[in-house]
Copies of this chain bind each other. A is one copy, B any other.
Amino acid sequence: MNPLDLDRQLCFALYSASRAMTASYKDLLAELGITYPQYLVMLVLWENDAEPEGVTVKRLGERLQLDSGTLSPLLSRLEKLGFITRHRSTEDSRSVFVRPTAEGAAAKERAECVPARIGARTQLDPDALPGLLETLRTLTGNLRGDHAPTP
């Protein structure tokens, strides 16, 4: 069998599923006025709303596996939208803390129904979800692991 058959490529199945997922979020997030990657940033901020200072850009990058080249302009847009503020750390002025504004914090309530609505659209068996999550996480870890030239 042809090893290059598109429909047999895991990469394409992932690529398609990921784009379909992002597209499905679009109308729900439009109600909040943000994009999907911006939503991911807000998830991290909402998770850490106990931190009075907020979360550093470095920590956001680690959590989402995004570098400053992606995050910097994205955070600028979130700032302009009034969802977050940025301020340099007084401890170490290399670091920049990101914190939700009152409006950004309030958006959390409106976002709480989003996962369930997406979950319904997937029509997946809820019992199958944890296994799929675990498989994808393992896969991601394995792919990130071998940075070696070519096993």
User: Whose C-beta in chain B lies nearest to the C-beta of A12?
Assistant: B40
Where chain A touches its partner, the secondary structure class is helix
Option from B8, B119, B133, B142 in Cβ contact (under 8 Å) with A121: B142
| A 52-63 to B, binary, CB cutoff 8 A, 1 in contact else 0 | 000000000001
Chain B residues, CB < 8 A from A28: 150
A98 to chain B, nearest CB (A): 15
Residues of chain A in range 93-144 having any CB-CB distance to chain B below 8 Å: 108, 111-112, 115-124, 128-129, 132-133, 135-137, 139-140, 142-144
A31 to chain B, nearest CB (A): 9
22 A-B residue pairs with CB within 8 Å: A3-B115, A4-B43, A6-B40, A6-B43, A6-B47, A10-B21, A10-B136, A11-B21, A11-B118, A13-B140, A14-B14, A15-B21, A15-B22, A17-B18, A17-B137, A19-B65, A20-B65, A20-B144, A23-B144, A28-B150, A124-B139, A132-B135
Closest 6 CB pairs of A and B: A18-B18, A13-B136, A20-B143, A14-B18, A123-B142, A24-B143
A: which residues have CB within 8 A of B? 2-6, 8-25, 27-28, 36, 40, 43-44, 46-47, 63, 65, 108, 111-112, 115-124, 128-129, 132-133, 135-137, 139-140, 142-144, 146, 149-151
